[in-house]
């Protein structure tokens, strides 16, 4: 027994380790609870629902985190080697059953609580009459297309795509529906109106991410993904790319303008004039 005793069961080691665990636990909980870092205030109708689920998860995980780390700290302090004899036990089936079913119920309930908001966000289609915007990602820019007064997007053809000639989406201007399409490098949406975005990509995967909208969706070449949101606060927000798309991934940024309906209309007309 001579060799393995160096520092074993030492009060100093036990106390230090327990102290680190406690300090880490409290400081982590402080940063989360005081919201030192937190998602920006939401501007989406569904934002509060998502945030509520985030907070619910944070509280449940926070309590488990707190209890588990402190229990670990306690056990280290209490049962360090002081020459006592260890308690001989192979476990306790009742306790196994209790904590198995407790965690199962807790985690599954939390998971099920999140499902209804997911259904609302992703299973329900946009209401008829929602403002339509086609979002197309490319290395390394965002393009937004509005159908114009006729409410119909013109035909596109990849062979017509020519960035330098000012047709990044390959819109076929021989199509009558394409005549009034508006293509912009920034996105504007009207306040308090449901917006249906049609997400596309020209080349590789990108991801359309607006923090304030609590909105993130990969744009997948070959797919047109339809999702919807309603912005309820006027302002200018950053749109970034959240899926690695190549060299300039980190610079693939533009803006979302949430405008009152009249300003939105005049913005559209302004863009159409170009």
d(CA 6, CA 104) in angstroms, rounded, equals: 42
Reading the block at residue 110, the tokens are 């939390």
CB closer to other proteins, 136 vs 268: 136
Q: How far is the CB of 268 from other proteins (least distance, A)?
A: 25
Give whichever of 163 and 270 is closer to other proteins, judged by the CB atom. Answer: 163
Least distance to other proteins, CB of residue 199, Å = 8
Nearer CB in complex with other proteins: 93/274: 93
Closest CA to 239 of 202, 163, 186, 182: 186
219 burial level (CB within 10 Å; 0-12, 13-18, 19+) = buried
The alpha carbons of the chain give a radius of gyration, in whole angstroms, of 27
Smallest separation, CB 2 to other proteins (Å): 9
> Closest distance between other proteins and the C-beta of residue 117, in Å?
5
Nearest distance from C-beta of residue 187 to other proteins, angstroms: 16
Residue 231: CB minimum distance to other proteins, A:
16
Angle between helices 93-118 and 47-78 (to 10 degrees): 160
- Are the CB atoms for 178 and 248 separated by under 8 Å? no
CB of 228 to other proteins, least distance (A): 13
Q: How far apart are CA 133 and CA 198, in angstroms?
A: 6
What the block records as the tokens of 193 is 């109106």
Whether 183 and 156 have beta carbons less than 8 Å apart is answered as no
Residue with Cβ nearer other proteins (105 or 127): 105
- The widest CA-to-CA distance across the chain, in whole angstroms, is 91
- Of 148 and 214, which has the nearer Cβ to other proteins? 214
**Between 127 and 223, CB nearer to other proteins:** 223
Q: How far apart are CA 25 and CA 67, in angstroms?
A: 9
- Lateral strand order in the sheet of 235-241: 187-190, 254-259, 235-241, 206-210, 215-219
- Which residue is it, tokens 């402190």? 70
Question: Which residue's CB is nearer to other proteins, number 205 or number 234?
Answer: 205
SS3 state at 142: strand
Question: How is residue 191 written in tokens?
Answer: 């306040």
């Amino acid at each position: 027994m001579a060799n393995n005793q160096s520092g074993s069961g030492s009060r100093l080691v036990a106390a230090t380790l327990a102290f680190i665990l406690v300090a880490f636990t409290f400081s982590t909980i402080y940063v989360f609870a005081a919201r030192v870092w937190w998602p920006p205030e939401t501007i989406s109708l569904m934002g509060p629902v998502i945030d509520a689920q985030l907070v619910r998860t944070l509280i449940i995980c926070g309590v488990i985190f707190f209890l588990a780390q402190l229990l670990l700290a306690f056990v280290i302090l209490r049962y360090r080697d002081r020459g006592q004899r260890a308690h001989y036990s192979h476990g306790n089936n009742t306790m196994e059953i209790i904590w198995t079913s407790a965690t199962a119920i807790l985690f599954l309930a939390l998971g099920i609580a999140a499902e209804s908001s997911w259904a609302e966000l992703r299973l329900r289609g946009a209401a008829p009459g929602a403002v339509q915007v086609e979002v197309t990602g490319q290395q390394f820019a965002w393009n937004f297309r509005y159908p114009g007064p006729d409410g119909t997007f013109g035909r596109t053809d990849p062979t017509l795509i020519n960035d330098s000639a000012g047709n990044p989406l390959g819109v076929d201007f021989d199509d009558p529906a394409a005549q009034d399409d508006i293509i912009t490098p920034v996105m504007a949406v009207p306040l308090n109106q449901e917006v249906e975005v049609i997400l596309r990509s020209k080349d590789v995967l990108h991801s359309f991410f607006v923090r304030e909208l609590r909105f993130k969706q990969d744009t997948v070449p070959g797919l047109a993904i339809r999702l919807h949101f309603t912005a309820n606060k006027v302002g200018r927000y950053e749109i970034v790319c959240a899926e690695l798309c190549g060299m300039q991934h980190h610079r693939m940024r533009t803006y979302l303008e949430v405008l009152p309906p009249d300003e939105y209309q005049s913005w559209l007309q302004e863009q159409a004039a170009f």
